[in-house]
A and B are shown apart, each in its own frame.
Chain A
Amino acid sequence: NAGVTQTPKFRVLKTGQSMTLLCAQDMNHEYMYWYRQDPGMGLRLIHYSVGEGTTAKGEVPDGYNVSRLKKQNFLLGLESAAPSQTSVYFCASRSLDSLSSYNEQFFGPGTRLTVL
């Protein structure tokens, strides 16, 4: 049981390049999230998904797109990377299990992205 995994762990891009971050979870969780973490700013929500085929915007969605074609995968895309998108990106998932009211998030190990 791997939990939540993220690919890649590190990446360096040049301004204007595109890339996709992959998040995968094997816990059959309904909800998935993408965050960015910047020094002094905590975690800020980019996009999230409440189920396969659905996505919604979070606090800082500009410059990012997401897709959830399969329940276990949540992709984060940067179409034209900018230096302001240099950050650590975290994926998280959580269950909608009615027996567990807390339904806390489980996090992946993070991806450090640098845009030059």
Chain B
Amino acid sequence: QQQVKQSPQSLIVQKGGISIINCAYENTAFDYFPWYQQFPGKGPALLIAIRPDVSEKKEGRFTISFNKSAKQFSLHIMDSQPGDSATYFCAADAGKSTFGDGTTLTVKP
């Protein structure tokens, strides 16, 4: 049973646009929700993370919105740049990480 569902599978955005990736979880024991960025041939790197007692967290161009009652959270990338083209994974942690299946983002110049 997939505990973290991520959508869309792929996303194409124009430079300067907003990229939005969504995740939903089922296990209410999760207490930490990180987003990772992964480039080909590299391991995932932490981008931004949130705990469930906060509804929004912003770091630079990256924002997480968290809806505890709906068990959903999303990543917004403002002013998307071609260098943001990568695969993004959401995860939910409860002592160990459960990852979504990833979203391949392409930002066109």
A pairs with B? no
Q: Which residues of B come within 8 Å of A, CB atoms?
A: none
